[in-house]
Structure 1
Amino acid sequence: MSDLSAAQTNPLLGTWTLISASAINPDGTVTPQVYSPNPIGYITYTPEARMMVIFSRSDRLPLSGDIRSPFSKDIRSLPTEECVQAFSTFNAYAGTYTLNGNSVTHHVEVASIPNRVGKDLVRTFTLNGNRVTLKTPPTNTDGVLKVFELVWERVEL
């Protein structure tokens, strides 16, 4: 299959960079910048039906220790608050994906949040030029059902 025909049958193919993340509240109001004003991240969809996503807040604080590897034993000596801050401002997962109309299902195999492993995360998508908007179903967040909307822009070579 040529690259052109693959792109026509799968418009998500490629790598996208995160532009914004917002939350839609039950009353329809929007909370912008739920992951900081300028979140940083990428999502990639491959022709082999593999996907990976990684994103973080842009205002993450550095750790107090000179930690350069997650395999360092020194990471265990960091203050708990720093570890919570680092974990709660970063998200990543990878696995396979399937398309169904304007819906993509991420079949999670590895994740920064261990509870997601083995789960299916469904997202609806809308394409607009070189941007794609992915929306979650209503998700219970702090006792409120919110829809999260992430806008991604295609990374051009």
Structure 2
Amino acid sequence: MSQSLNLVGRWNIVSWEQLYDDGRRELPLGEHLSGFIRYLPDGDMVCMISRAERKRFEQGGQWNAPDSEKARAYDSMLSYAGRYEVDGDVVTHRVEASLFPNWIGGEQKRRFEQQPDGTLALLARLEENTPQARTARLVWRRHEAQAAQEAA
């Protein structure tokens, strides 16, 4: 674990932006987000991020809704879980389960930085050496109950 920042605990999502090398900026799930990342002391982690306001299915249930509604639900959320390891200022997520199946069995590396306001920025380089090369920047704020405990 990094001596400069203890990642253990729950962090609520503040923002997620993609900063392209050509200057573009995109917000993959929009400006208003909901979700968290949680790091447990035993090395387990879980990350769930969604649009703050997701549309409910108009018909059907979880398994028998129309494909268009399932696709809309998929497009409004990212979630994965697994194990994590910290080396210096890099946290590696070893993905065991994910809404995006291509991540399962792989690693997601994030460089982390504590911001002056106490938030946590996780940064990842994506699609290097392509026209889509970019840095994903996700900012998290420590969960209020946990932050109050740490301050006491």
Q: Tell me: CA distance 1:102–1:137, structure 2 relative to 1, closer, same or farther (3 Å).
A: same
Moved more, 125-134 or 43-52: 125-134
Partners of 1:139 and 1:35 in 2: CA distance:
19
2:148 aligned residue: none
Aligned to 2:84: 97
What TM-score, normalized by structure 2, do the two folds share? 0.84
Q: Deviations over 1:47-85 (max 9, x none)?
A: 111110001012321101263xx4xxxx22x22111100
Is the CA contact 2:2–2:86 (under 8 Å) kept in the aligned structure 1?
no
**Which structure 2 segments of 5+ residues have no match?**
146-152
State yes or no: 1:84 paired with 2:96. Answer: no
Matched, 1:134 2:119: no
Q: Is the 8 A contact 2:11 2:141 kept in 1?
A: yes
Q: Percent identity?
A: 27
Q: CA RMSD in A?
A: 2.2
Q: Establish whether residue 54 from structure 1 lines up as the match of residue 76 from structure 2.
A: no
1:9 Cα deviation (Å)?
6.6
TM-score normalised to structure 1 length: 0.81
In the alignment, what sits opposite 2:10?
Answer: 15
The one of 90, 94, 101 aligned to 1:107: 94
Runs (4+) of structure 1 moved beyond 6 Å?
A: none
Q: CA deviation at 1:115?
A: 1.4
CA contact (8 A) 1:13 1:44 kept: yes
Aligned counterparts of 2:136 and 2:127: Cα–Cα separation in 1 = 8
2:102 corresponds to which letter in structure 1?
A: N
Structure 1 match to 2:150 = none
Tell me the distance in 1 between the aligned counterparts of 2:131 and 2:106.
Answer: 21
Counterpart in 2 of 1:119?
A: 106
Q: Contact 1:7–1:13 (CA<8 Å) still a contact in 2?
A: no
**Cα deviation, residue 127, structure 1:** 0.6
Instruction: For residues 4-24 of structure 1, give each alpha carbon's deviation from its aligned partner in whole angstroms, at most 9, with x where no partner exists.
Output: xx8847521110000001010
- State the SS of the aligned residue for 1:136: strand
The residue number in structure 2 matching 1:3 is none
Instruction: After superposition, give the CA deviation of every residue in 1:18-48 in whole Å (9 maximum; x if it has no partner).
Output: 00010101124433x3311111110001111
